[in-house]
Structure formats: structure tokens, C-alpha cells
Amino acid sequence: MNELYINRELSLLEFHKRVLAQALDPNLPLLERLRFLCISCTNLDEFFEIRVAGLKQRMEIGAPAQGPEKIPAQEVFNTLRQEVAELVRQQYELLNKVMFPELTKAGVRFVQSHEWNGEQQEWLSHYFDEQVVPVLTPLTFDPSRPFPRILNKSLNFIVRLHGRDAFGRRRHRGMVQAPRSLPRIIELPEHLSEPGEHNYVFLSSVIRVHVDRLFPGLDVGGCHQFRVTRNSDLYIDDEEVSDLVRALEGQLEASRYGAAVRIEIGHECPEDLQEFLLDHFSLQEHDMYLVEGPVNLNRLSTVCGLTDRPELLYPPFTQGMPDDLLTDETIFEVLSKKNVLLHHPYQSFAPVIDFIALAAVDPDVLAIKQTLYRTGADSPIVDHLVTAARAGKEVTVVVELMARFDEAANIALANRLQEAGAHVVYGLVGFKTHAKMLLVVRREDDRLIRYVHLGTGNYHHATTSVYTDYGYLSSSQRLGEDVHKLFLQLTSLTEAVGMTRMLASPFSLFDALIDKIRRETENAKAGKEARIIAKVNSLNEPQLVDALYEASQAGVRVDLIIRGICSLRPGVKGLSENIHVRSIVGRFLEHSRVYYFFNDGDEEFYCSSADWMERNMFRRNESCFEIRQKAMKDMLRKHLELFLADNCQAWVLHGDGNYERLTPGKKKRISAQDIFLEELTAQT
């Protein structure tokens, strides 16, 4: 174990464990627990596609140890393999021994094939013939028909066969691929269920039971599901690429069939078929996970939307609205007098969408500039930008094509914007544009006024209902000038100089953070009160970690609220005794980034798109803006204090890298997210 730093991959895996712990919590609604189980599976998929894939590549080429902790890739992989195996075991034990029985008691039943009654068997047999068979392509293998290409994370079946085919050739194995067009969860009709029950059947069970119909004339000796996870990281050579879109499109197609890094197989699959699959995908036994249940747990999340049982879900709520916006005035009229700070998802994202919508049709608006990292399909924001461009306004959109797993969607929206007449600029290769900025230029009384929106989260209308973020609306002249300079930097690649209200990566943010941490350190050495609070998603930048260690040793009180990766070891004697780290995992994904520095009583608050990671400091374009209004600073201080007082959804990091979940015990129950729900929303 490295004494100074926690390995990034191991720290990320600890976060995945905390997500699974939500599914284990009996205090949560049952279908929400199921949803957390599915999220833990999705998280693990991405973990293998990116992090484990990278580890395996480094192991193959014998690359030197990376990261400040300098642990060899093979050693990290060996530890991860043991940890992941235990995590997967817990996932399926939870599914089979807890979730299925409790869901059945609640009238949500997953009917196993051996439980199908006569009517259900008949209906499913007809369903298989009418809905499934027409889109399946059963395969057998010979020199002219080699093993097919397997799509990343697709559902497949390896089939043992006996006998001779129609051409007299002996067959031993076959395969069935389940197209993604087929629903993985099938809801049985009401007349095949008990009154008040919702009955579901897995597609995998239907195919397995009826697979013999796909190989007439051959005897089926077994049918076993499997799923392969592939390396999905994209690499674009910034020195060689001449057309980013074409290069990225080629990489996207290739990534669907990248190198295999993991295979999940039904636990009942015989060893010889396991070995056959491992050999074909060039995998080792340590890359195989035998699972007792569906190989893709995240498909179970479908049930949360299909089942009309509100008592098994979180209580719904209506997103609130700041008092400043509860007026008949337009957003321009409001912002001409005051700034607005929104706290999502408790407060609605609608004002931001309405802001863009109004700007798109307002005859006095001359230009709109916006960064887009993730927007989601059918984004209303993109619709409004298209409207603005078609209306003849100057619309400039900086689209980050390399937003992981959203690359294809971003190419599509970029093409749509260009067709409408917008100026589309792609993020610079090697420097992702992760900043969240919107600038509207409006003519008012022969003057040009800049209105801005800055955020800690993406312009994605769907995630704003489940991610916590801050959004800042303002018509401040100096802030508008800074945002204008940052857009010029992104479009012309020139230097943004003379900014007074904003910090930005990869230029000024890192140095400013180091300076502010050192200022607190010097104040502590001088006997002054000194304090730092940072709420971010991840922390692994070694120079920031080292600066925080120095601050701790000088007596600075450091509180870090870090949802995911944390490479810093808190509470270590002589090193980090004054540093406390906690992770909040609850109903909403903690996504906001807030930095606080006591500054000898002249407190500073910053909101930002940037986590404290190497990539955010040096390989991304990030935005960071200061909050100066007293009421807003008071609000942010209150929020940070609530997170630090939370004893219901908080996990405390210890110096050995392990997390401990806090419980209120006999103390007053404090849940920051619950308090925000009560104060900022209307429960329905």
C-alpha cells in the first residue's frame, strides 16, 4: 500500500460498492433498490470498458506503473479481480435471495421457466414464434462459417448440439445472438397474472426453453447465456487526424468490437463450453464471471418504469422555483436587476430552457453562444438553437464530440445545428470542452448587453431531475466579458487575457487553486483561522493532494465532500490529521462542484464544471466562476454545512482507503438531500 495516495481504480471501485449498498438498504422503496442494483451493474460495465481495459493494455505492453502511487498495473488488476468477484457475488446474492422474494411479496414477480403454468407456457410459446423467431439468426460453425463477431455487451447463447445437419455434417455447437431490438423483459398479460400482480419473464428464459425450434433436426444438449465486455475507450491521434468527425465515426464503429476484457456466463454452463468461449475471445479464467441470473442486470431497470406501483418508488415531487423568477417579468427583465442561483434538481431547470427559448425568438437578441457536452436525445435546447439559427441570429455552439458514450449523439446534433446555419466548433482534440457556458447578446437602448448562464452540470434536461447541480444566471458586465473571452478562446484558440470574474482550465484554474490552498496554509502558520471546503466528484491531482497535505500539517481544517474517486488519504498522523473526506450517496447523484476558502474572514465561494483531477486541470477546457452576492454565499455555506452534518447518506473515508457508512444512532437524523427536498420543492 502506498502511504500517500490511494489508487484511482481501487477508489472508483469503492464508489461502486457504495452504490450497491443503496440496493441493500431496507429503508429505501423496493423498486428504487432494484434501480440501484441496476446502476451498480451499469457502473461496473463502464469500469471494465474503460478502466480495466486500460489496465490490461498497460499489462500487455509492460508499461511502467502510473499515477502518483506507482502501483504496477498487474498488482492493481489482481486486487481488482478479487474485489470485483466479491461485488458480483453480492449483486446476484442480493437479486436472488432478497430482491426476487421481496418483489414477489409486493406483487412484482419474475416468473422462472420452471414456474410457468400451462396458459403461460402456451402464451410464451406463441410469443416466441411470433415476436422472437423472425429476428433471430441461429448459427452453427464450420470453416466457411466461423464464430461470428460479438457486439459489445450484447446478449448471446452458446448451444450444445448433437447430430448431423441437413447436409449430413456433424454439429457440436451453435450460437444465437439476441438483437437489441428485442425487449429483455417481457410483461405477461393481465389474464395470465393474479389480480394486482405484475408478472415478468426474461427473454433469456424464453429463448433457452424454445431454442430447440431454432435447430430442427439436431438435438440440443444445453443453451447457456453469455455476454462479452469490450474495450470501449476511443483514441484519436491529435497529430495525425485531419477530420475529427470522420476519425471519430471510425473509432466508434471499431469500439463496438474492441478487445474483449470480460466475459459473463451463466453459472450452469459446462467447463468445456466455458473454455471454448475463453479461447475464442483470448481471455483467461480470471476474466470470466459465472453468474446466477441474467448476464445483464441493468436491463431489470425496465421494470421500474413498467410497474404501476408508486408506493414502491420514491415519492414524486414538483421542482421548485426561486422567488425571483415567480414574476410576470421576462428573464431579461429579472436579470437586468438581479442574479439568480438555481439548485437542481430541487429547483427546476425550466428557467434555463426558457431563457434559451426566449433568446431564440426575441428580435433584440443578436447572438447566442453555448457549449454542449451532453444534451441527450431530442434535446429542447438544441431545438431552440436551431430555431435561433434559422431566424438569422448568430448561433455558435462548441460541441464536444469526445464526450464518452455520447459521441454518436453529439455528431448527430452537430450535423443538425450546422444544417440549420449555426456555427459549430468541435472541442479541441486532446482538450475536451467540459465547460458549461451560455452567452446571449441582446441589444437594449443602443447598447449590447451580455446575459450568461454558467453551470456545474450539463445542458441535459433529463439528468437535471436526478443530478444535483448549480446554475447561475446573470447580466453582470464583467462576468459577461469573461464568458465572451472564453468563447473566443474556444473558437479562435487565442489566449483569454484579463479575466476578472472567472478561472479556466487548462490555463488559470490549477494555479489559482494552488495559490488559494497555500494562502490558507500561510494564514494557519500565522495563527489565523484557516479553512477549505471542496465538494467535487473526484480528486486525484497529485499536486493538489500534496498542497492539501501541507495545509493540514499547518493546521488548516480541510473538509472534502467527494462522491467518487479520492486519491488522498485523510486522517493519517503527521500527514493529514486535519483532513476529513466524506462521500454522499443518495436518491440524487451528487454532481455539483463548489470550492470554499475562508480567506481570513473574506470568504470565497466558487462553482465550477471542474473536478480536482489531472484531466480537469490540464486536459480539459473548464469554467469556474465566483459567487459574490452575500445571500448566495450564505446559501452555499448552508448547503456545505448540511453535507458535512449528514449522518444518513454519508460515508467517511479512512486513511486505509476504506469507507464507513454513518448512521444517526440516537442523534438527530440529518439528510441533506431530504432537507433540500422539503425546503425547495413541493411534495406531491
Nearest to 624 by CA among 516, 496, 465, 513: 513
Provide φ and ψ at 195, rounded to 5°.
-55, 130
Q: What nine digits make up the cell of 441? A: 447578446
3-state secondary structure at position 273? helix
- To the nearest 10°, report the CA torsion of 40, 45, 51, 57: 150
**Region for 386 from its dihedrals, namely left if φ exceeds 0, alpha if ψ lies in -120 to 50, beta otherwise:** alpha
The amino acid that residue 252 corresponds to is L
Of the candidates 16, 343, 434, 591, the residue annotated as catalytic is: 434
Buried/exposed 327-364: b ≥16 CB within 10 Å, e otherwise: eeeebbebbeeebbbbbbbbbbbbbbbbbbbebbebee
Q: What is the DSSP letter of 128?
A: I
Residue 210 designated active-site: no
E strands of 494-619, at which residues? 502-505, 531-536, 557-562, 579-584, 589-590, 594-597, 604-608
667 class by beta-carbon count within 10 Å (0-12 exposed, 13-18 middle, 19+ buried): exposed
CA distance 330 to 546: 48
Rg of the chain over Cα atoms, rounded to whole angstroms, equals 27
Q: Which residues contact 378 (CB under 8 A, 6 or more apart)?
A: none
Q: Assign residue 644 a region: left if phi > 0, alpha if psi is -120 to 50, beta otherwise?
A: alpha
Of 340, 430, 412, nearest in space to 372 by CA: 412
**Residue 310, preceding peptide bond in cis (omega within 30° of 0):** no
**432 and 403 Cβ atoms separated by less than 8 Å:** yes
Cα–Cα distance for residue pair 158/27, rounded to 1 Å: 40
**Residues designated catalytic:** 434
